[in-house]
């Protein structure tokens, strides 16, 4: 079933590129909407896959809005998202070779 999830820390096309690339193998095609705040991703996903998606998003630094994070986890997620964003920017510009 196609579902939409709101994420934290998604700022730009670099973030979107990272999300699409990182999630593609396990979850298939992912749409990232950068026009909404909070940012949203849309993908075909079964209910039993959502915990794995949630974990993968946390590892990338883009936790779901409804994830309960303590201060340390929030700071860590923001730091991870900066790195993920930078990687996504390099990938979209063809500089990561």
User: Residue 13: enclosing H or E segment and its boundaries?
Assistant: helix 13-27
d(CA 74, CA 53): 18
- Whether 88 shows a pLDDT value over 90: the answer reads no
Give the global pTM: 0.86
- Per the structure, the count of domains in the chain is 1
Burial of 94 from C-beta contacts in 10 A (0-12 / 13-18 / 19+): exposed
The CATH number of residue 87's host domain is: 3.30.70.100
Q: Tell me which residue range forms the domain holding 49.
A: 2-93
Q: What is the pLDDT of residues 47-68, one digit of tens each?
A: 999 999 999 999 999 999 999 9
Stretch 1-8: mean pLDDT: 96
pLDDT at 37: 94
- Whether 95 shows a pLDDT value over 70: the answer reads no
């Amino acid at each position: 079933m196609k579902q939409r999830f709101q994420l934290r820390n998604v700022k730009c096309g670099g973030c979107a590129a990272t999300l699409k690339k990182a999630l593609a193998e396990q979850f298939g095609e992912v749409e990232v909407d950068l026009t909404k705040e909070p940012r949203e991703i849309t993908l075909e996903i079964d209910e039993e896959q959502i915990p794995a998606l949630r974990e993968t998003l946390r590892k990338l630094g883009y936790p779901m809005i409804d994830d309960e994070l303590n201060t340390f986890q929030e700071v860590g997620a923001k730091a991870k998202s900066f790195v993920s964003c930078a990687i996504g920017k390099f990938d979209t510009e063809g500089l990561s070779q």
